[in-house]
Amino acid sequence: MQFELTQDYINQLKVAVAERDDYFIQGRMEELHVQDIAPILIELDDEESYYLFKGLDFETGAQVLREIDPDYRKHFVKQLSIDELADYIEYQESDDAADIINEQPVKTGEEIIALLEDREKAGFIRDLLHYDEDCAGGLMAKELIKANINWNVKQCIEEIRRQSRNVEQIYSIYVIDNSNKLLGRVSVKRILLAEDETLIADIYESEIISVESYRDAQEVAEVMRKYDLEVIPVVNVQGKLLGRITIDDIVDVITEKAEEDIQMMAGISGSTDEDDSIWAQSKSRLPWLIIGMLGGILGARFIGLFENFITLVPTMAFFIPLITATGGNVGIQSSSVIVQDLARDSGPSSFTMGRFFKGFIVAVVNGVAIAGIVLLFNTVLGEEMKQTIVVSVALFSVVILASFTGTMTPLILEKVGVNPALAAGPFITTANDLLGLAIYFTVAHYLYLI
């Protein structure tokens, strides 16, 4: 079903490139989709990838350029002259072109735009350059079919014919008034089945969901997911039609957000992958390890206060990992549920007192279960009774309190505008390690004094 890129395949291509075996290369490339060609380039060295790329026709090359991983693309396009790059960009849609131009130095970008023969496209790209990549404007393409509300179907088909070179796929035909204000949409099916003289005004749907250009990419994703849209028109604050965003770009936004959240939960900052340099990978992980380490040092100082106690009752030390691990596990469980709730679109019933109370009951149930099992285990294993009680009481308290901090931390982070997923990672385990130790030794202090 899917093309599987193997080392053998790459070696064959490398040999073919070395031998300038264009017949073999063309044959292989014609079998592939552009999404399969892009990753091949990364596996070749510069001279080889350039040769392979230049063997593609401009249209395919333009699409391959669109699909290449942006980090690698910045490096790859350095091999192309400004004229060459402009030739490919001529075949791209405005959003993809703007992405590539944004990766270039400003001067290079301006030169490329100046070289474009399609002046409409040049204007489109220039419009898109000033949008932030994480907002609706940064995701949209300018190419779309729009029909004036006063037109008839025949005029609309003429417009489609005129635009058909620019627009790869028609999703919807947007209906606008004389001032370019978005009024609604009409489906291609409707146009196809209507008479030439039918007025657009009579067949268009006025109910249409659109987003303003300044909206955050996550918001756009949420709207498109919720309303099952494959394309959404983008308007400015006056409601004038600016462009449209297709679902494929939004799928990437959703996937990247999920990966980012998982990385954040795992204590890895930024979006690094295994292709990044050792230093970049280390830099993305070390801060979180250091936070954990500082927590550990603080924990050591704290336990140090009880040095004499431990000398007298060394069994106290045995259960330290049990206490801290339980606190960490409960904290992560509670916080991740809240993080997901915050990420989802929730009704008014979220975070009511009732929910909090329910969370509290779940914590009590789990706390009783864990503390009870440990009590049983320790009794069976013949641990000293007082120590057994201290551990169980501490465990129960840790489960309740870790559940509380795990619930509150993401809510507070969300309130102050920080990604709440941050709370579901090393942050919460470190906090709960300290919390657990404090509870454990406090409980022990009181119980052993009795």
The encoded tokens of residue 46 equal: 């510069």
Closer to a copy of itself by Cβ: residue 347 or 417: 347
Closest CB 414 distance from a copy of itself, rounded Å: 15
Amino acid type, 218 = Q
Q: What is the CA radius of gyration of the chain?
A: 30
Stretch that binds a copy of itself, among 18-26, 87-95, 108-116, 291-299 (CB under 8 A): 291-299
Q: Is 144 exposed, middle or buried (0-12, 13-18, 19+ CB in 10 A)?
A: buried
Query: What is the C-alpha separation between 399 and 59, in angstroms, rounded?
Result: 60
265 binds a copy of itself (CB under 8 A): yes
Q: Which of 15, 114, 290, 385 binds a copy of itself (CB under 8 A)?
A: 290
Closest CB 82 distance from a copy of itself, rounded Å: 28
CA-to-CA separations, 321 to 387, 395, 433, in angstroms, rounded: 15, 11, 9
Closer to a copy of itself by Cβ: residue 180 or 315: 315
Closest CB 118 distance from a copy of itself, rounded Å: 19
Query: What is the C-alpha separation between 414 and 347, in angstroms, rounded?
Result: 17
Residues numbered 120-159 forming contacts with a copy of itself, rule: CB under 8 A: 157
345 binds a copy of itself (CB under 8 A): yes
438 binds a copy of itself (CB under 8 A): no
DSSP code for 421: G
Q: Which of 15, 106, 300, 412 binds a copy of itself (CB under 8 A)?
A: 300
Residue 22 · residue 56 · CB < 8 Å:
no
Q: Is 151 exposed, middle or buried (0-12, 13-18, 19+ CB in 10 A)?
A: middle
The encoded tokens of residue 391 equal: 């551990």
Closer to a copy of itself by Cβ: residue 103 or 219: 219
Query: What is the C-alpha separation between 419 and 413, in angstroms, rounded?
Result: 7
Closer to a copy of itself by Cβ: residue 15 or 369: 369
Reduced to 3 states, what is the DSSP secondary structure of residue 358? helix
Q: Which of 77, 374, 393, 413 binds a copy of itself (CB under 8 A)?
A: 374
Closest CA to 90 of 145, 172, 31, 166: 166
Closer to a copy of itself by Cβ: residue 61 or 426: 426
Closest CB 85 distance from a copy of itself, rounded Å: 22
Q: Which of 409, 430, 431, 444 binds a copy of itself (CB under 8 A)?
A: 430
The encoded tokens of residue 397 equal: 């308290």
Stretch that binds a copy of itself, among 83-91, 106-114, 120-128, 260-268 (CB under 8 A): 260-268
Closest CB 105 distance from a copy of itself, rounded Å: 29
340 binds a copy of itself (CB under 8 A): yes
Q: Which of 18, 106, 114, 258 binds a copy of itself (CB under 8 A)?
A: 258
Residues numbered 177-236 forming contacts with a copy of itself, rule: CB under 8 A: 187-189, 191-193, 209, 211-212, 215, 219, 222-230
Closest CB 111 distance from a copy of itself, rounded Å: 29
Residues numbered 30-89 forming contacts with a copy of itself, rule: CB under 8 A: 33, 35, 39, 42-43
The encoded tokens of residue 294 equal: 């500082």
CA-to-CA separations, 326 to 242, 315, 333, 362, 396, in angstroms, rounded: 53, 18, 11, 15, 10
Closest CB 425 distance from a copy of itself, rounded Å: 8
The 315-334 site mask, x for binding a copy of itself (CB under 8 A), equals xxxxxxxxxxxx-xxx-xx-
Pairing of strands 145-148, 231-235: unpaired
* Tally of helices (H runs) and strands (E runs) in the chain: 23, 6
Closest CA to 343 of 422, 404, 285, 399: 422
18 binds a copy of itself (CB under 8 A): no
